[in-house]
Amino acid sequence: MADRSLIFITDTEELKDKELYEKALGLIDAGRRERVLKVRHEGSGRQMVAVGVLLQYAVREYVKGGRQGACDEAEQVSMSDIIGELHAESGNANSSGYECSEGSRVNTPKSAGRETEARRASGQPYLPDYPDIYISLSHSGARAMCGISNAPIGVDIQEHSERREVMDIAKRFFHEEEVAYLESISDPEHRRMEFYRLWCLHEAYVKNTGNGLSEGFKDVTFLDAVKGDGKLSDNKAVHLIDSIPGYSAAVVTG
């Protein structure tokens, strides 16, 4: 069976609207809401709320069918629009749609607000009640991202930062071939962009496999993916998303 994946990205800054933020809080599950309320930094809180709402929306869209989706395409959705849709469903059905929280598998509709999130020994979050659909979440800066698939999936999004010394990080974590590639780029902005594309690929791969840093960033190279989408030696599909100015994003499935 071919992989079926949906990828969604949203702007978290819309949640600066207090009324919209309160509606969003009512749509995420109890465990996530509790964690959000303990966060002091408003930007981090918006990220956590946005990714929780985005996940509920992604599950609804995936379970109801009709969308085929592709790993190399991301749909940018409005946070206010999806909150409006989910909130309307909550009022009509006395439910917030699909209960979701950060994890790796979900499937059927449930009433919202019940904590079901757990973590595997690998650290991967998952939903024990839903065995057949995989999800992955990420947020950075003013963006949140969700991937949902019938195959293992990892997604990552990163805001480009000029404050980071990218070569210092690359030499510490990246494969030697990737370091050599970055060093060969003379233009600083181009080098920074390629660094973030590589970083997203590594992070998405770690989320996909669940092996974390114990496997080591230096053990896998993504140069072929940076130069053009391909497959890794373990038959995982690798995709880059470059459609958002100032951000890089990546998806690994299989």
pLDDT (0 to 100) of residue 213: 52
pLDDT (0 to 100) of residue 37: 92
Tell me which CATH code domain 158-253 carries. 3.90.470.20
Exposed/middle/buried for residue 43 (C-beta within 10 Å: 0-12, 13-18, 19+): middle
Is residue 158 within 8 Å of residue 166, measured between CB atoms? no
The vertex-107 CA angle with 123 and 112, nearest 5°, equals: 85
Give the mean pLDDT per block of 10 residues along the chain (254 residues): 84 97 90 90 95 88 74 87 89 45 39 51 69 88 94 94 92 94 96 96 92 69 78 79 94 91
Is residue 149 within 8 Å of residue 7, measured between CB atoms? no
pTM: 0.85
> How far apart are the C-alpha atoms of 91 and 94, rounded to whole Å?
5
Instruction: Report how many helices (DSSP H) and strands (DSSP E) the chain contains, helices first.
Output: 9, 10
Task: Delimit the domains of the chain by residue range.
Answer: 12-119, 158-253
Name, in order, each residue with C-beta under 8 angstroms of 208's C-beta and a sequence gap of 6 or more. 136, 152, 153, 154, 236, 252, 253, 254
